[in-house]
Amino acid sequence: MKVTELAPAKLNLTLEVGEKGADGYHQVQSVMTCAALYDEVELESGTGGDITMTCDCPDLPCDETNLCLRAATLFFKKTGIACNGLHIGLKKRIPMQAGLGGGSADAAAVLRGLRKLYRPEMMIKDLERMAIELGSDVPFCVRGVTTMVRGRGEQLLKLPKLPLCWFVICKPDVSFSTAEMYKKIDEKKPACAIDALGLVKALEYQDMLEISDRLGNCFEAVLDPDSEIFTIKKKLLALGARNACMSGSGSAVYGLFTQEAEARAAAEELQKAYPQTWFAESV
């Protein structure tokens, strides 16, 4: 049997990072949503033998370090189901090292697909609990709806859906190491005025203008003032975005638009300087 799962890109509407705990993990608070920029995961069961994987991106290793393979191995281990052979085919569109959760989204898609193939009665919450062992963004990606995420990523509070809007997502050539970005947070301890609760209220009222006014990411506070991130943000605002923000620990930046035509035109214009630019509808 075969199933295909779409893995949407993750966007942080807000992102705050707290102190590092004794376990070495930082406590986070983030309002996350998804954009219609998708990887595609195809699962084929009953292939005989082991779990195998192919990917159309040559830069992505398809060995035991890959989150898709780790997700499949974890699923069979946790459920006690005997694997009768599984092949994972991955088509990549979400850029890597961008703060868009591509690897996490792919792993979550594997878990959702395996649930359909082998254990359809399993609750989504069971998958979310399993997913935290793979990474802090994976439980959210299993859920894939606008959510307040706290703790290490295991505390999920479903929020009202983000009203229809459009994103222009831009990935510059520069990439940021997540570990280095967290190290800078620990060293600089930046003060960030991020109104996550105000954003939650704006979602409840479905007020798009109030929502866009409250986008914020504490990682921007540890960037150099001349960082290309701020250049891209200014370009997006000049092209009509209601607001612009870096996602995750970077380096992708997104602009939020309330008019589809403006967003399409902005993406086309930005692509001239930044080829890795995408237009995507909210999910």
Helix, strand or coil, per DSSP, at residue 4: strand
Place of tokens 């000049």: 238
* Summary mean pLDDT of the chain: 95
DSSP string spanning 197-257? HHHHHHHHHT-HHHHHHT-EEGGGGGS-TT-HHHHHHHHHHHTT-SEEEE-TTSS-EEEEE
DSSP string spanning 49-103? SSEEEEES-TTS--STTSHHHHHHHHHHHHH-PPP--EEEEEE--SPSSSSS-HH
d(CA 263, CA 104): 26
pLDDT digit string, tens, across residues 87-119: 999 999 999 999 999 999 999 999 999 999 999
What are the angstrom distances between the C-alpha of 139 and each of 196, 211, 228? 20, 24, 31
d(CA 195, CA 29): 11
| pLDDT cut 70: percent of the chain above it | 100
| Among 92, 106, 137, 235, the one annotated catalytic | 137
Rounded to two decimals, what is the model's pTM?
Answer: 0.96
- The reply to whether 166-281 shares the fold of 2-158 is no
- pLDDT band at 162, cuts 50/70/90? very high
Contacts of 244 (CB under 8 A, 6+ apart): 215, 232, 233, 236, 237, 253, 254, 255, 256
Helix, strand or coil, per DSSP, at residue 16: strand
- pLDDT band at 166, cuts 50/70/90? very high
- pLDDT band at 24, cuts 50/70/90? confident
- pLDDT band at 172, cuts 50/70/90? very high
DSSP string spanning 124-193? HHHHHHHHTTT-TTHHHHHH-SSEEEEETTTEEEE-PPPPS-EEEEE--S----HHHHHHHHHHH-----
pLDDT digit string, tens, across residues 36-72: 999 999 999 999 889 999 999 999 999 999 999 999 9
- To the query of whether residue 137 is one of the catalytic residues in this protein, the response is yes
Q: What is the model's pLDDT at position 25?
A: 82
The class of domain 2-158 in CATH terms is alpha beta
Q: What is the model's pLDDT at position 26?
A: 87
The answer to whether residues 28 and 136 touch, using CB atoms and an 8 Å cutoff, is yes
- pLDDT band at 128, cuts 50/70/90? very high
Model confidence at 215: pLDDT above 90: yes
- The secondary structure element, H or E, covering residue 36 is strand 26-45
The answer to whether residues 90 and 106 touch, using CB atoms and an 8 Å cutoff, is yes
Domain residue extents for the chain: 2-158, 166-281
Q: What angle do CA 192, 193, 197 make, to 5 degrees?
A: 120
- To the query of whether residue 116 is one of the catalytic residues in this protein, the response is no
* C-alpha closest to that of 165 among 139, 150, 193, 146: 146
Helix, strand or coil, per DSSP, at residue 28: strand
Domain 166-281 falls under CATH 3.30.70.890: yes
Query: Beta-carbon neighbour count of residue 268 at 10 Å?
Result: 13
